[in-house]
Structure 1
Amino acid sequence: MTPKLSLFLCFIFIGFLQSCGTEVQEKKPYNILFIAIDDLRPELGVYGNDIIKTPNLDAIGQAGTIFENHYVQVPTCGASRCSILTGMLPSNREHLKNSAIEKMMADVPEGERPESFVHHLKRNGYYTVGIGKISHSIEGLVYGYEESPVGAKAEMPFSWDEMLFDAGKWGNGWNAFFGYADGSNRQGKKKQVKPYEAGEVSDEGYPDGLSAQLAIKKLRELADKEEPFFMGLGLFKPHLPFTSPKKYWDLYDREDIPLSPSPDIPENIDLSSLQESGEFNQYALGEEKAGLDHQLSDEYARKLKHAYYAAVSYSDALVGKVMDELEVLGLAENTIIVVWGDHGWHLGDQRVWGKHTIFETALRSPLIIKVPGLAARRISSDMPVSSIDLYPTLMELAEVPTNFTLDGQSLVPLIKDGKDENREALAFSYFKNGISMRTDKYRMMKYFREETPTIELYDHLNDPLETKNIANEQPELVEQLLVQLEKGDTGLYTDENN
């Protein structure tokens, strides 16, 4: 080879390397839009409900990865959010309460370990914005339902560049959270309110509509920023009260809405495994009170389910507005979308109206992750996953290293390949003095209590509605599953944690 040819090829090679380097430098990290929807069961079209109207959430699912069997770690708002934000299983009783994030983060100096995955992203170059309910408190401030937020401390003091909320005519976050269309709220009315409302208002006539507006406005600002962003949008509905503009009620013929397929107490259990629908019964002007000793009338149960469906459709419409803006701004092609329900909700299942049990209905919620450029897929019920898995998943997708322990396991192999040979089909949840374990075929519960039985086992292949505890019929299987359940025993119910 002549010297001139060698020099020529060298220049070509250097130019190639420079070109590749430029492409790498120009590739901006993914933005992340995390949509948390309060009390959302997997009642969406893409989860098999052919009556509910959720076209926008369905569209995200049809383009992303749908996790059919996703389970939260605790079936109450604040504690569930604590687990997903920290990537950790609950390890003491404080982690089971709505105050979990406050106790863990609000008065703690910034340490080497980040307080949340939002904090970790912020430390690694992300501009972080929260809108609505991401942690437990609405404005990200710690104050009581009937207190003023003025002077309140931050719930997650190191996570947010901006924590935003438009309280509108309700005045503050908690008033808005329990708000009605006329600007009143549950606590101001001393609970003399109904658990539902069909408001003759526009989308902006309820607080979630204002949150969606705020998200759209902020996306327009973020589109011009050099650094990637994380936006958390927390929608209230369908949390009680089941309120939404009347046009979403009008989407449904009430007679088409089915009643609960499992309205009776499961066989072979103690009633302490369930709960008396206390949160629901706080709405004193409801036509009927719920209780384990009776079912609500079919008429009222169907009305409540109608209200719930309308509230879900309202949230879906707001998600659609935000997604449309993401497209208009040219952000969709580089933004990861996460849709997460913070837990399920018994709509009369097992005679319960509410969450706060460790049955399937209270623990299973939607999880949809859409990653630009990756194929749509569905992760079947053979592979249960957990909320704690989101932290390592986002870090892997964002190429942000973690040098600390997390209890979750990245979902990226499932998202990319539809399988993960290194993942065990187990998901653990905690509440009611019990540990609940979901496998591909069974749900086992172990209770630390005086009431018996303390072991419950449900066969999801033959009894997906969990209507009969078969633990006494399958002693060998119980022994096998108890060995697996030990993997989820964090010491939560030991004496020193009581």
Structure 2
Amino acid sequence: MSVTRCLALAVLLLSGSVAPAAEKMNVLLIVSDDLTNNTLKCYGSELGRSPNIDKLAARGVRFDRAYCQFPLCNPSRSSFLTGLRPDTLRVYENTTQFRQNKPDVQTLPQTFHKAGYFVARVGKMYHYGVPLQIGTDGLDDKPSWEQVINPKGIDRTELDKVFTLEKGQYGATLSWWAAPGADAEHTDAKTADAVIKLMAETKDRPFFLGCGFFRPHTPYVAPKTYFDPIPADKFALPVVPPGHRQAGPAPAFTSAKKDQDAMTDAQRREALQAYYASTTFMDAQVGRVLDALEQLKLADKTIVVFVSDHGYHLGEHGLWQKMSLFENSARVPMVIHDPRAKGNGRACARPVELVDLHPTLAELADLPAPANLDGKSVKPLLDDPAAAWDKPAYTQVLRGGGPKAKVPGFMGRSVRTARYRYTEWDGGKKGTQLFDYDTDPAELTNLVGDAKHADVVKQMKVLLPK
């Protein structure tokens, strides 16, 4: 370098005219467990009370057609925390830790750790058995985190007070409790406490924090004050047409359970009240975390993501919980707020997937992502929610089978475009379904046998992965 150029550079440095290196963006990934869009006001719920998630949605980009890759906790969380589909990981149930099959996977938090970020989780990020594994590591991935915190509250320690449809069962079946006392006694409140403390302790260095709330996963436990605003008798039950389930295909309804079928209408309304109350309680803890982000002056340099691991049935199709390929089970709430995004304050109607989170967050933070990821960055949609986008969303579910099964299971595979969902059970051998959401948002009319939709069936069939 010439003497003249050296002198010029020195002058620029002394004058402060050289632009400083861009500040690294933090990431706060908030995951709710078993949350349906239908209880959130920002997604159109009439009875839902979710002011804090609504506020985040108003500030960021709300994705109206976001989908999980598998409507069960472990396969879904393994998928979006790696950026790999369940078929790539070969994880289809709640017992297999993904590194048993893919030991060298670089997870989403590891991508940030490699870039010098402080990486930690509080609560449920990878799979836990709820409620019995609350307070433990569950099926965690130790290489993903520098620090882990496992809070435990009265929703775990006082299970004897929980009403359940099946004695001794609290997570696999419906159960609930309007608990006396304060928010602070519950696991999700303790989770918010720990996340706030971590943000305060690490505010001077870039961080990736996973904030994993347990609610509204059954047991639907929340302080009684969250139950009181909406009495159980105010809830309308979903209408299921006579013969709907019998019309099949049978695998579409395999997630139905006898104890839930036997519920009285009064119990169904109580369950709805408890689920909504648990959702509002979880929302209050989201608000505490987001308020702390503002108070710590971190909001302008933190990307906030709010998602659920999958959707949830509350009586639609006569089903409760998850494990179906209907919209209520496959669709998830997803809000991304990057303070720099040009599309903030808008909704996006493009189909996106949870598996897109890894490449998206890596790109937003300007970090290299693994080359083998199965998702696609949605950054273009954050800048323009109406941008061209031709990628559909895929969801699958296993029927039967599993590590200990004597008889092989089969897969249901579904593809969702902006207008249609097409599903094949066992490659079509056990049934197919086509729904048009422009005319049938409740998915009550299977159009596969309708000659007018034969071309649509052919087009959708081509989109399904082989």
Structure 2 length as normaliser, TM-score?
Answer: 0.86
> Are 2:251 and 2:425, in contact at CA under 8 Å, matched by a contact in 1?
no
Question: Which ranges of structure 1 fall in alignment gaps of 5 or more residues?
Answer: 1-6, 171-175, 282-288, 490-498
How far did residue 88 of structure 1 move? Answer: 1.4
Deviations 1:441-481 (A, max 9, x none): 111001107974x2111111110110111101133321221
1:138 and 1:297 map into 2 onto residues whose CA distance is 27
Matched with 2:189 is 209
Matched with 1:290 is 260
How far did residue 93 of structure 1 move? Answer: 8.7
1:194 and 1:44 map into 2 onto residues whose CA distance is 20
For residue 122 of structure 1, the aligned residue among 113, 117, 123 is 113
Question: Which ranges of structure 2 fall in alignment gaps of 5 or more residues?
Answer: 400-410
Letter in 1 for 2:457: V
2:94 aligned with 1:98, yes or no? yes
> Are 1:138 and 1:165, in contact at CA under 8 Å, matched by a contact in 2?
no
2:125 aligned with 1:161, yes or no? no
> Are 1:127 and 1:229, in contact at CA under 8 Å, matched by a contact in 2?
yes
Letter in 1 for 2:208: F
How far did residue 45 of structure 1 move? Answer: 1.1
Matched with 2:308 is 341
The percent identity for this pair of structures is 30
> Are 2:422 and 2:460, in contact at CA under 8 Å, matched by a contact in 1?
yes
2:269 and 2:40 map into 1 onto residues whose CA distance is 18
Letter in 2 for 1:401: P
For residue 441 of structure 2, the aligned residue among 464, 470, 473 is 464
Matched with 2:27 is 32
> Are 1:39 and 1:342, in contact at CA under 8 Å, matched by a contact in 2?
yes
1:400-479 equivalences in 2 (<5 Å):
400-421=367-388, 423-431=389-397, 432=399, 433-448=411-426, 452=430, 454-473=431-450, 474-479=453-458
How far did residue 277 of structure 1 move? Answer: 3.7
**Local SS of the residue matching 1:437:** strand
1:37-436 equivalences in 2 (<5 Å):
37-42=32-37, 43-91=39-87, 94-100=90-96, 102=97, 104-105=98-99, 111=104, 113-114=105-106, 116-137=107-128, 145=132, 155-168=140-153, 176=156, 180=158, 190-191=168-169, 195-224=175-204, 226=205, 228-262=206-240, 265=244, 268-278=247-257, 289-291=259-261, 296-374=263-341, 375-381=343-349, 383-421=350-388, 423-431=389-397, 432=399, 433-436=411-414
1:485-496 equivalences in 2 (<5 Å):
485=464, 488-489=465-466
Letter in 2 for 1:270: P
Change (3 A) 1:155 1:259: same
How far did residue 28 of structure 1 move? Answer: 2.2
Change (3 A) 1:105 1:20: farther
**Local SS of the residue matching 2:449:** helix
2:365 and 2:109 map into 1 onto residues whose CA distance is 12
1:339 and 1:95 map into 2 onto residues whose CA distance is 24
How far did residue 105 of structure 1 move? Answer: 2.0
Change (3 A) 1:463 1:185: closer
1:345 and 1:241 map into 2 onto residues whose CA distance is 14
Larger fraction in strand: 2
**Local SS of the residue matching 1:85:** helix
2:8 and 2:129 map into 1 onto residues whose CA distance is 58
How many pairs does the alignment contain? 445
